[in-house]
Amino acid sequence: MNRNIKSHLALLVVTLIFGMHYMIAKNLMPVPFQPMQLLFMRSFGAVILFWIFQLWFIREKILLRDMIMFALCGFFGFATNQALFYEGLNLTTPVDASVIHVTNPIFVLIFAGILIHEKITAAKIVGIALGAGGALILIMYGRIVNMGTNSFKGDILVMLNMLSYAMYLVLIKPMTVRYHTMTILKWVSFFGFLFMLPFTLKGIIGLHLQTLKINEWLGVGYVIVLNTFLAYLLINFALKTMAASMVSFYTYLQPVIASIMSVSLGVEIITIPKIIAALLIFGGVFLVSRAKQNNPLSLKADAGRE
């Protein structure tokens, strides 16, 4: 199978995982977990998984300057990104959070153009605009999005979460050419865990794992194994051959998959606005994916190790 097709399939799986994560994480907070407690569980579990798998399969030497970059990626992609998301989601609603996440590809496009000179083409701009319009129609149609004072702080935190995640996608892109995906995530998750540890220590003391129910343990397992270990693995795999802006664009597909799942379960029905929204999103994906990638980092990615 073509490597580019594999990358798109990987991002579709990530989109499905992230789309379900909104409700699963929301149902775990603030009971039985406070945001920082859930963050500790997620980070600690992910570090263990990444280190075990890397030690089993990969042996690579890391340059000192790249170790510094891994630390920066750990700060933006694991510590800051995840802390802001959980604190924000705890205060706002999954719908509000998903609306705000529509801004991610815009931030990535700006950061990529400035930091790694990823070419910003007219096709990318139009594609992102189409995707944003379609996602907003799908999310907001028939709903009242609460942007009132009660959730305003949470909305701001989620917005900052998107800024941090966008910075991570751009900074980690050059590293995907030089190192194996598992090596990258081993060190990025490790540094991220170190950065967030001082802020989660207090919450650890209040953890009562023995009282957790089976469904709550399953939720934690989903957050660690699927939403962190597998999702980050697939994202870094896709970054080897795709531009950071293309990877971030799949944010727009999360509401599409959520709607498909709702329709299949009989919770929602297919309407004209939803069909229009889906066409806008997929049209945007087509434009962004077809845009010429003149960034040398993208062109060299095919030669990178998986």
Q: Answer yes or no: is pLDDT of 77 > 80.
A: yes
CA 197 to chain centre: 21
**For 204-227, what is the mean pLDDT?**
92
Burial class (CB in 10 A: 0-12, 13-18, 19+), 72: middle
Write the pLDDT tens digit of every residue in 128-174. 888 888 877 766 666 555 555 557 888 889 989 999 999 999 999 88
Lowest mean pLDDT among 27-36, 86-95, 105-114, 278-287: 278-287
pLDDT digits (tens, 9 = 90+) for 15-61: 899 888 888 998 899 999 999 999 999 999 999 999 999 888 888 88
Report which secondary-structure segment, H or E, holds 22. helix 3-28
**Alpha carbon distance 252, 282 (integer Å):** 9
pLDDT at 300 over 60: no
Give tens-digit pLDDT for 274-289.
Answer: 788 878 877 887 787 6
**pLDDT at position 262:** 63
Looking at residue 97, its pLDDT comes to: 79
Measured in degrees and rounded to the nearest 5, phi and psi for residue 34 equal -80, 155
Reported as type and span, the H/E element at residue 191 is helix 181-205
Helix, coil or strand: residue 195: helix
| pLDDT band at residue 302 using 50, 70 and 90 as cut-offs | very low
Q: Alpha helices of 81-180 — where are they, by DSSP H?
A: 81-91, 94-101, 104-115, 122-140, 149-178
Q: Where are the domains of the chain?
A: 3-303
* pTM over cut 0.85: no
What's the mean pLDDT when you consider all of the chain? Answer: 83
Q: Check residue 167 and give its pLDDT.
A: 94
Identify the pLDDT of residue 46: 94
pLDDT band at 294 (very low <50, low <70, confident <90, very high): very low
Q: Could you give the angle at the alpha carbon of 224 between the alpha carbons of 65 and 203, nearest 5°?
A: 90
Cα first-last separation, the chain = 15
Residues 54, 75: Cα–Cα separation, whole Å: 20
Kindly indicate the confidence band of residue 261, based on its pLDDT and cuts at 50, 70 and 90: low
User: What pLDDT does 152 receive?
Assistant: 80
Output the pLDDT for position 146: 57
For the stretch 238-257, pLDDT in tens is 998 888 878 888 887 776 76
- Note the Cα 21 to chain centre separation in Å: 10
Q: Which of 17-26, 44-53, 89-98, 176-185 has the lowest mean pLDDT?
A: 89-98
CA distance 234 to 16: 12
Mean pLDDT of 105-127: 84
Q: Which two tokens stand for residue 242?
A: 């795709």
42 vs 155: CA distance, rounded Å: 22
Q: What is the pLDDT at residue 148?
A: 57
